Amino acid sequence: MHIVVVGAGSLGSLLGGLLAPEHDVTLVGRAPHVAAVERDGLSMTGLERFHVSPAARTDPPETADLAVVAVKSYDTAAVAEQLADCDLGACLSVQNGMGNEDRLADALSCPVLAGTCTYGAGLVEPGTVDFTGRGEVVLGARAGGELSTAARVAEAFTEAGVATTLATDMPRRLWAKLAVNAAINAVTALARVENGALTSGPGAALAADAARETARVAREQSIALTDERAVELTRQVASDTAANRSSMLQDVAAGRRTEVDAINGYVVETAERPVPVNETLVRLVRTWATGVDAD
C-alpha cells in the first residue's frame, strides 16, 4: 500500500517509520526534517532502534492509497486543501481535537476515517525520532459502524506490526479521547508539569473536573460517556504516561501555538450549559498566547 503521512513530525514520522518496512511510505513535513530523511533515511531511537528509508518531501504526492493526517488541528484546513488535488483511496486522521475529520471530508472525495493513536514519540533532531512509548492505533468510520475501507487500512497497519484496533464506535472513542486531552493537556501546560503530576492531589482533582464536564457535553451530543469513565481514563493515561510531557506542554515550552481551541475550546463551544473549568483553562492558555504574541 502506498501511504503518505502528512504532518511528519515526531508521531507522524514514528508511524511512517513503523509502516515503511511493509509499505511504500512517503513522509510529508517541514524542510529540515524531511530533507534529512530524504538524504540519510529515518533513524529511530528509544524503545526500538532501527533505520528505514521512506520517501520524504514537503508537499503531498499526486496519488496514494492512503493519507494519514497527523498535523496540528489548526493546520487541518490547509492540509485538506492540499490533499484535495491528490488522487487518494482513503484518508485517516490521527489528530488531537475534534472536527478534523469533518474538515477533511468536506474537501476530499475519498472516504475519511477517524483514528486515535497512543504511541509516543519525540523529534530528537532532523532525521531522528525517539520512540518513547508503545501504544495502539484505533480506527474506523468517522460516523461509526462498519466500513470495508477501514478494515483494509487496519489490516495494512497490522501487517506492519502496528498494534491496531478496528472500531465501530469511533464517535464515542473520539469524545473519550477529547475528555482525556481536555483534562491533561491544558492543566500540564499551565502548571509546567509532567502527566504524572495529575495522578493525585490538586492536579488530579482539576483534571477530573475538566473530564467530567467533557463527558457531560458528550452526553448532550447523544454520546454514551459517563463521568466515571472519563475520569477513569484520564487517571489511567496520566499514570501510564507519568514521565511524558503533554503535547500542549511541549508547545508552551517552545513558545508555539497550542491546540487548545480544538480541545477545551471545542468543549466550551459545543456545551449547552456552562463548563466553567474548561472555560477557565481556555482563557488561561489564550492569555499565555497573547503574552507570547506580544513578545
Does residue 177 have an active-site annotation? Answer: yes
Options 33, 142, 177, 212, the catalytic residue: 177
Beta-carbon contacts of residue 224 (< 8 Å; ≥ 6 apart): 172
Q: Rounded to an integer, what distance in angstroms lies between the CA atom of residue 102 and that of residue 284?
A: 28
Name the DSSP class of 84: T
Q: Rounded to an integer, what distance in angstroms lies between the CA atom of residue 188 and that of residue 284?
A: 12
Residue 206 identity (one-letter amino acid): L
SS3 content of the chain, % helix, strand, coil (to 5): 50, 20, 30
CB-based contact 189:251 (threshold 8 Å)? yes
Between strands 42-46 and 50-52, the pairing is antiparallel
Nearest residue to 82 (alpha-carbon basis) of 112, 58, 113: 58
* Catalytic residue numbers, as ranges: 177
